[in-house]
Structure 1
Amino acid sequence: MSKLSLAELVSMVSETKSEGILRPTTSKDTGRYERTGLAEVVNMQITSGQFIGSRVPEPTYLPPHWSAHIHPEGQLYFCRQGSPRVVTEAYLYRPETLDKVTGWIKRIEKLIADQDFPVSAELELFIKLEDEDCAYYLTISAFLPSFRFRSSTCFARNCIGTMSNFFPMHGSLSRGTLDSLVCVFMHAICDQMTSRVSTFPYSKQDCEAFVSLLKNSRDHLSDGNIVCTVARLWGIICRNRYLTQYGQENSRLSRDQAVLWDPETKNRWVSTVASRISFRTSDRYLAQLDDVFVDHLVYSDQWKSMVTGCLRDWRGASHGAFLALMLHIFLLALTPCPSLAVASASLFVASLLASTLLLNRYVPLQGVTAEQAMDYLEAVQSPTFKFQFVALVFALPHTLNLWGTLVLFANCIFMLATNFGTGFAAGISTVALLAFIAFQWTTSDRFNLSLARTHDKFRAMFFRNPDASYTSEV
């Protein structure tokens, strides 16, 4: 009989449904952090430095090759040495639970033997009891010898790269494994200091803290807390390497580099209309959203920087809208056209309301994790229009302020025409329009380029060798 692959073995095991259903799961779907069980209340007394409970715990025993471990977070789990190694969080101190776990292990081992699947100490089986059924996943020590990082063996396309947030503390840790991790973080410090688009998931300050922590751990390699810590950090790095196509033909070398195919937005008219009505304000927010979500990846520093900048913009817009509303107290009494004053006041009120709502919505999102930010952006991104409408909403406070300012300016021109004549008002309007055009032109990239070209042409007309003339002048 030919030997099966691990994927074929999982498929074969998942089809076995007699005496309960055995189903595959992933390391992230074990429900470890969603449990609702309640612990029994124990009355405690402290007497002469000793703890005395209201009940005496029963003696606990485990079969041969089984050992109990307490994760640094407090989770009790059990490990059976062998091939394959077995890990479970079922409470094996209860005889009936131990019998169930043992029965499921025997069934899986029989299936493995029947299929002539090669088993080694590198293969580890995790099982979770679900009433009469059982969920499981297989993991392989996939990084370094004696290192406890586990890449979940999942064979659904949407599960590739699954990484658990819970890292067992059994096993051993070598000095080389820890030193390699230190070197990774030291390189990351240099990368963060010399590049603004580093693909490493932690900031320079975080990396320095991790380096210090790891160096202080070198004398405690056998401690389960250190094993768990190193495994967690290696897991995060390996997960990031998976997402950045590390070692692949088209690896991501900078954070803003897209390496995955993503269909472009076909409805460009929406972007054009949004850009025009928002005075191109939405373009800036759209660029920020696209930059922070390249290939659907989010880096916490970039997310926090973007949200902080947006909050600052919205607060500034709300202050401007409030001051403009205060101006309308006097304007309503002086204007010969109250409808224009009401229109501009309404726009400023709308700007103030939009700023308030956006601040209320995004202040709590300023400090969320990268994963939470990614989930949020996934939820608000349109499959067709991407972030076009989100960017337009972000631009509402400034857009409404600008429209309100235009209506306010029109009202002022109308007041000038009423009190000083149409010619005077037309002259003021012309001067204001020319000043606006001059401002837009001088602050644009096109103006700076044309100015540089004019300067080069001027020097070429008067100096045959501009560089030599410049040198002699110096």
Structure 2
Amino acid sequence: MVSEAKSEGLLRPTTSNDTGRYERTGLAEPVNMQISRGLFLHSLSDPAYLPLHWSAHIHPEGQLYFCREGSFRVVTEAYLYRPETLDQVTRWIKKIEDLMADKNFPVSGQLELFIKIEDEDCAYYFVDHATRAESWLEDIDTDNLGLPPVVSLSQLHILCEELYWSHVEHFPMHAGLDRNTLDSLVCVFTHAICDQMTSRVSTFPYSQKECEAFVNLLKNSRDHLSDGSIVCTVGKNHPAVFMTEKLTHHPLSPTMELNLYLTNYGQECSRLSRDQAVFYDRDPKAKNQWVSTVASRLSFKTADRYLVQLNDVFVDHLVYSEQWKSMVTGCLQDWRGASHGAFLGLMLHLFFLALTPSPSLAVASASLFVSSLLGSTLMIHRYAPLQGISATEAMDYLEAIQSPTFKFQFVALTFALPHALNLWGTFVMFVNCIFMLATRFGTGFAAGISVVAVLAFLLFQWTTSERFNMSLTSIYDKFRAKFSRNQDDLYTSAV
């Protein structure tokens, strides 16, 4: 991956996502300065020592960069106002030009070179504004560039186009955009709005509300395509990317471009819905299924519900921010409800202290309620800060807690514990109530109440199940068919 460039220093291929743009640190040194008379009554020009064909530009975020016009453009964030840095940049550009001549590398006015000075070394990449892709002077494996595996050449081009739009977002001030680029982006977001409205499992990385905001923003930008701020905006939103906010400062255009990669866009097996797996096997019959069975029984099937939600939000190890936020919000509501129920159950024990004939049952139910209350509090404390994290942070978190063997089975059981402990506490408290009734009114009365309660519970379970509705439908269909036959028989007899 590293090639030696004729003299001291190494020339290293890199990508627009690996320049360390947002990791650089430095300290400014403010000084007192004299304000000359009429200093700002005329425009300030660039320092005289900036070389010919070089110009300085300021990114909308505030980053200073420099651009050189020529047979091909050169951009760099190296501080050229410092003479020694300027000498290094000039020397490396000459070395790269020599290598391009030796390798017969095609040169055009659409070609642009990025260089980054790294002590005595230099990192570089090329972008071609005609093909909208990054390229390098030598053959390089995608793994060496930090790019994920691909299934075809067309998918590799999608990744390289994602890198191109990252470059456009980072260096937007020296060139404009054409109208078709913006219009195509408006069409993509318009389709996404419809997709979000009609599908619960849309693969688009932004919500309907966000898409509508993007469409309005882009339409208002149509008359300012030569403005660097608008170029940066389009670079953030071009229809070519999605990694669910893979980087905090990742442009939206690369975000959507990676979306094309992650949905396997244009390939034999493409992802048509968010819950469709194309990279990882999503076998519902995972190994160690007994863990889920035991957890389901102990938690009154509450763990099953959380397991489905965790698997659904992490299909192919991808996380969509809206689905993550919805899942965490629902879990927090469940845990708050469990804590309220546990608190009320504990308050009822004030009544049992004087009347219960079985202190051990009272202690057991109180302990279960306390455990539920404590578990709810801990879960809320742990997950409330995670409600608003980015999709990338959520993806990293789920990667960390997912077991290679058990997947999310134990995590789902942990999620279900506050509610399950609350239900177990309620059950033990009910048993204690039966003992109280037996002591006060006799065993027969308590047994009768127990039978009525069990029948009421079973009736509730049956009437709220799918089987009950299906049974009612079946009975209704049989009755209707029999009634129709009787009517036909009566009509035939009359005739």
- TM-score when normalising by structure 2: 0.83
Look up the match of 2:141. Answer: 155
Secondary structure class of the residue paired with 2:65: strand
8 Å Cα contact 1:317/1:351 also seen in 2 = yes
Look up the match of 2:115. Answer: 127
Cα displacement (A) at 1:127: 2.4
Look up the match of 2:248. Answer: none
8 Å Cα contact 2:296/2:302 also seen in 1 = yes
User: 1:71-220 to 2 correspondence within 5 Å?
Assistant: 71-82=59-70, 85-141=73-129, 155-157=141-143, 159-160=147-148, 161=159, 163=163, 164=166, 166-169=169-172, 170-220=174-224
8 Å Cα contact 2:349/2:366 also seen in 1 = yes
1:287 aligns with 2:273: no
**1:156–1:46 CA distance, 2 compared to 1 (3 A):** same
For structure 2, which runs of at least 5 residues remain unmatched after alignment?
149-158, 239-252, 491-495
Number of positions where the alignment pairs a residue of Structure 1 with one of Structure 2: 449
Cα displacement (A) at 1:397: 1.0
Cα displacement (A) at 1:133: 2.5
Which whole-Å CA distance do the structure 2 matches of 1:455 and 1:308 have between them?
A: 40
Q: Kindly, what percent of the aligned residue pairs are identical?
A: 73
The farther-off stretch of 191-200 and 40-49 is 40-49
For structure 1, which runs of at least 5 residues remain unmatched after alignment?
1-10, 145-149, 470-474
User: Counterpart amino acid of 1:261?
Assistant: Y
Aligned pair partner of 2:384 in 345, 363, 374: 363
Cα displacement (A) at 1:278: 1.0
User: 1:434-445 to 2 correspondence within 5 Å?
Assistant: 434-445=455-466
Look up the match of 1:26. Answer: 15
The farther-off stretch of 291-300 and 315-324 is 291-300
Which whole-Å CA distance do the structure 1 matches of 2:229 and 2:406 have between them?
A: 47
8 Å Cα contact 1:142/1:151 also seen in 2 = no
Cα deviation digits, residues 73-120 of structure 1 (max 9, x gap): 001112233465332211111111122222233333333333333344
**1:239–1:122 CA distance, 2 compared to 1 (3 A):** farther
**1:274–1:24 CA distance, 2 compared to 1 (3 A):** farther
Secondary structure class of the residue paired with 1:347: helix
User: Counterpart amino acid of 1:72?
Assistant: P
**1:258–1:433 CA distance, 2 compared to 1 (3 A):** same
Which whole-Å CA distance do the structure 1 matches of 2:36 and 2:337 have between them?
A: 62
Which whole-Å CA distance do the structure 1 matches of 2:335 and 2:291 have between them?
A: 23
Aligned pair partner of 1:447 in 444, 447, 468: 468
**1:44–1:422 CA distance, 2 compared to 1 (3 A):** farther
The farther-off stretch of 259-268 and 434-443 is 259-268
Look up the match of 1:429. Answer: 450
**1:155–1:125 CA distance, 2 compared to 1 (3 A):** farther
Which whole-Å CA distance do the structure 1 matches of 2:334 and 2:361 have between them?
A: 27
Aligned pair partner of 2:339 in 297, 312, 318: 318
8 Å Cα contact 1:79/1:87 also seen in 2 = yes
**1:339–1:22 CA distance, 2 compared to 1 (3 A):** farther
Cα displacement (A) at 1:336: 1.6
Aligned pair partner of 1:230 in 224, 231, 234: 234
8 Å Cα contact 1:60/1:93 also seen in 2 = no
Cα deviation digits, residues 131-168 of structure 1 (max 9, x gap): 22233344444766xxxxx6687733451446549532
Look up the match of 1:64. Answer: 52
Look up the match of 1:5. Answer: none
Cα displacement (A) at 1:388: 1.4
User: Counterpart amino acid of 2:479?
Assistant: F
**1:465–1:365 CA distance, 2 compared to 1 (3 A):** farther
Secondary structure class of the residue paired with 1:400: helix
**1:320–1:124 CA distance, 2 compared to 1 (3 A):** same
Cα deviation digits, residues 2-32 of structure 1 (max 9, x gap): xxxxxxxxx4x54669623333333333222
**1:282–1:45 CA distance, 2 compared to 1 (3 A):** farther
Cα displacement (A) at 1:302: 1.4
1:243 aligns with 2:262: yes
User: Counterpart amino acid of 1:155?
Assistant: D
Cα deviation digits, residues 270-329 of structure 1 (max 9, x gap): 111111111110111111111112112222211111111111111111111111111112
Cα displacement (A) at 1:402: 0.8
Look up the match of 2:352. Answer: 331
Which whole-Å CA distance do the structure 1 matches of 2:180 and 2:465 have between them?
A: 55
8 Å Cα contact 1:27/1:152 also seen in 2 = no
Look up the match of 2:278. Answer: 259
Aligned pair partner of 1:376 in 397, 400, 413: 397
Look up the match of 2:406. Answer: 385
The farther-off stretch of 394-403 and 292-301 is 292-301
Which whole-Å CA distance do the structure 1 matches of 2:36 and 2:384 have between them?
A: 49
Secondary structure class of the residue paired with 2:170: coil
**1:341–1:102 CA distance, 2 compared to 1 (3 A):** same
Which whole-Å CA distance do the structure 2 matches of 1:354 and 1:129 have between them?
A: 53
Secondary structure class of the residue paired with 1:77: strand
1:39 aligns with 2:28: yes
- TM-score when normalising by structure 1: 0.86
User: Counterpart amino acid of 1:248?
Assistant: Q
